[in-house]
Structure 1
């Protein structure tokens, strides 16, 4: 069984069914994944529909077994605000982006003091599988923090470790990536990676192995590490790739999906609720995986 299939199976076995709110819904295709029996078995989808065909969409949603609210509003930001207000009131536990621009989603959630968790760093975690014999791995942060500080990287790593443990990874191995494998004060990511690695040695991230700075070839290939004289406990066995910023992370993930044929699913963590954002290279079936991860994070996190 593939890892992502196992995630869905585990989430389906948990009796508790949180409410997943999605807004705005303007397209029939958006309702399709929410009406999937696998989704209905895991969560209670609640959709907020809008647009000229809102009545027909709501009727279709009800026919799929979804809960629905129809609004007469054209402003996506105002419509979406209804969904995160449901979360803040406790009427919904998972927030999912509907048919609107990513910039509006981010501005309405990540930049909203009322929805942010000030004790944590908001970050996105991708999980990928396929094309690597030893199994799945994570990449973070590829969507939220463009040039994270060391403090933000600590929060980003903690989010990924939390998710990895919820998904059943034991003593996750982390590669804190940099362009080179040695500390160079002129390259801030090498310094940050070295600090994170030392924090890991001191047990500040719990039961995890963190190594850095390490470049991608030494992280992936034992022969490359041997050639460069690098001895690492994570080489060839990385569970989490911590990237220097979103430019590296987004490019890394898209390359693996579009050219490497891997499957990807992701989740925004560190907010008042797990958030699912639209990503063009995440398939419909993997959107179900994202919902499963969000549910497990609530139930087991």
Structure 2
């Protein structure tokens, strides 16, 4: 978008402008490092001992005023003379802030402009900061394209770091790793072992596994290898290890998902549980103040209502396993209104009512919700939605595999999120990574599996001693 400044001669008393910005925890980390102000009052403690909703630094709030002055009014070429500030409220991560300036005076002799300044919370219009700025307004016309500005993505992935912190003290989960016959899949399993998340049993072509280990410089001493040259046979052997009580989890290696799952869904010899097999992504989205779960992006193509009940319940169970005490579940559709011509909106409404009546337990379920009012409190308020879930969803349930898969990949490739993948519904957690996933995704998947297994079996950190 082309942005133009307003010169001194173009400015008039009464001119005003504003900018909106979502305040995030990453903003506070960036501000702390750039300013050198490391006051722990403004930072979430990764060990969980600090404030869970830290207030934004006051001078960060003040910088939002300078953004309006430097970008819009007067804009490029403006220089500060002075700024007064009065802080009369607080802002926190997850709140949208509106910074406004208004011209209240001009001094032709000095070439200065006096501006009334303020910052308010968008949700309730509460005043956060007021003040007055005196600036030297530009004399020459300037313009630039905001697409030319460098972008900044903070990939801290603090939520995955928290998962690792919670999971590492647990007993390692004995895990049958199926066909770890290339570098990423074998490396991911060994990384999970290094962090004491899993104890891998490598099931596949022994020669290929050892050759891959040599390629990546890994030592397989004391790691069990079960030699199965065929992918289908390796998947069946992994299921047998679970039945024998030797494995408490299964991890996908370098094979297709349908090959991995086929023996698991066998009605006689498989690993079927009481619910449908469903897939959950636990995603660490930069700038988002909590993990975000997306389901079902990998298994159920066009789920009916009965299947969606299991999809929602499985996702709630995973969310609780990773520390979300009462998960907020947004069931997505294209609209927040029930539309008889839109089956996804009807299913969403029914799932919400089923949760109200105890047919789905452990979480707060609301639907239908459109994507915007599921995750953005401003959008929810604009639509008049007032509930604990609208604008605060921690679990997103998509209408079908197309929508869920696109959503997860958009978060990954556009928002630079990391995703941990897990299959639920089997007797044991199934770690399901894409063959292109990096080390952090694989490691986080192991952590989610370990935490979920610990929750359903009652294992604790003391059991590891």
For 2:247 and 2:235, how far apart are their aligned partners in 1?
13
Deviation of residue 115 (structure 1)? 2.0
User: Against the structure 1 CA distance between its residues 237 and 55, is the aligned structure 2 distance closer, same or farther, given a 3 Å change threshold?
Assistant: closer
Deviation of residue 262 (structure 1)? 1.1
Is the contact between residue 332 and residue 399 of structure 2 (CA under 8 Å) also seen in structure 1?
yes
Question: What is the DSSP-based 3-state SS (H/G/I as helix, E as strand, rest coil) of the residue aligned with 1:36?
Answer: helix
Q: How does 1:1-12 map to 2 (within 5 A)?
A: 1=46, 2-12=158-168
For 2:219 and 2:242, how far apart are their aligned partners in 1?
21
Do structure 1's residue 130 and structure 2's residue 288 form an aligned pair? no
Paired residue for 1:69, among 208, 226, 245?
226
Aligned to 1:200: 355
Do structure 1's residue 151 and structure 2's residue 309 form an aligned pair? no
User: Against the structure 1 CA distance between its residues 230 and 284, is the aligned structure 2 distance closer, same or farther, given a 3 Å change threshold?
Assistant: same
For 1:51 and 1:8, how far apart are their aligned partners in 2?
30
Higher alpha-carbon deviation: 165-174 or 44-53 = 44-53
For 1:106 and 1:63, how far apart are their aligned partners in 2?
26
Q: How does 1:224-239 map to 2 (within 5 A)?
A: 224-239=379-394
Question: What is the DSSP-based 3-state SS (H/G/I as helix, E as strand, rest coil) of the residue aligned with 2:324?
Answer: coil
User: Against the structure 1 CA distance between its residues 62 and 80, is the aligned structure 2 distance closer, same or farther, given a 3 Å change threshold?
Assistant: farther
Deviation of residue 46 (structure 1)? 0.9
- How many residues end up aligned between the 2 structures? 298
For 1:253 and 1:210, how far apart are their aligned partners in 2?
20
Give 1 or 2: higher helix fraction: 1
For 1:36 and 1:208, how far apart are their aligned partners in 2?
33
For 2:321 and 2:207, how far apart are their aligned partners in 1?
41
For 2:438 and 2:184, how far apart are their aligned partners in 1?
13
Deviation of residue 28 (structure 1)? 4.1
Is the contact between residue 177 and residue 241 of structure 1 (CA under 8 Å) also seen in structure 2?
yes
Deviation of residue 160 (structure 1)? 0.8
Q: How does 1:1-301 map to 2 (within 5 A)?
A: 1=46, 2-14=158-170, 16-36=171-191, 39=194, 41-50=196-205, 53=208, 56=211, 63=220, 65-71=222-228, 73=229, 75-110=230-265, 113-280=268-435, 282-301=437-456
State the TM-score, normalizing by the size of structure 2: 0.60
Is the contact between residue 18 and residue 43 of structure 1 (CA under 8 Å) also seen in structure 2?
yes
For 1:66 and 1:52, how far apart are their aligned partners in 2?
14
For 1:116 and 1:33, how far apart are their aligned partners in 2?
24
Question: What is the DSSP-based 3-state SS (H/G/I as helix, E as strand, rest coil) of the residue aligned with 2:196?
Answer: helix
Question: What is the DSSP-based 3-state SS (H/G/I as helix, E as strand, rest coil) of the residue aligned with 1:3?
Answer: helix
Deviation of residue 184 (structure 1)? 1.5
Higher alpha-carbon deviation: 20-29 or 117-126 = 20-29
Higher alpha-carbon deviation: 21-30 or 286-295 = 21-30
For 1:18 and 1:222, how far apart are their aligned partners in 2?
39
Aligned-residue CA RMSD (Å):
2.3
Deviation of residue 195 (structure 1)? 1.0
Question: What is the DSSP-based 3-state SS (H/G/I as helix, E as strand, rest coil) of the residue aligned with 1:146?
Answer: coil
User: Against the structure 1 CA distance between its residues 53 and 223, is the aligned structure 2 distance closer, same or farther, given a 3 Å change threshold?
Assistant: closer
For 2:336 and 2:268, how far apart are their aligned partners in 1?
38
Structure exhibiting the larger radius of gyration computed from Cα positions: 2
For 1:263 and 1:110, how far apart are their aligned partners in 2?
28
Question: What is the DSSP-based 3-state SS (H/G/I as helix, E as strand, rest coil) of the residue aligned with 1:184?
Answer: coil
For 1:22 and 1:249, how far apart are their aligned partners in 2?
26
Is the contact between residue 23 and residue 99 of structure 1 (CA under 8 Å) also seen in structure 2?
yes
Is the contact between residue 140 and residue 243 of structure 1 (CA under 8 Å) also seen in structure 2?
yes
Cα deviation 1:70-128 (Å, max 9, x = unaligned): 34x3x311122111111122111110112112231233334565324241111011111
Deviation of residue 211 (structure 1)? 1.0
Question: What is the DSSP-based 3-state SS (H/G/I as helix, E as strand, rest coil) of the residue aligned with 2:179?
Answer: strand
With a CA cutoff of 8 Å and minimum separation of 6, indicate the structure with the bigger relative contact order: 1
Cα deviation 1:235-256 (Å, max 9, x = unaligned): 2211111111111000000001
Is the contact between residue 254 and residue 281 of structure 1 (CA under 8 Å) also seen in structure 2?
no
User: Against the structure 1 CA distance between its residues 285 and 216, is the aligned structure 2 distance closer, same or farther, given a 3 Å change threshold?
Assistant: same
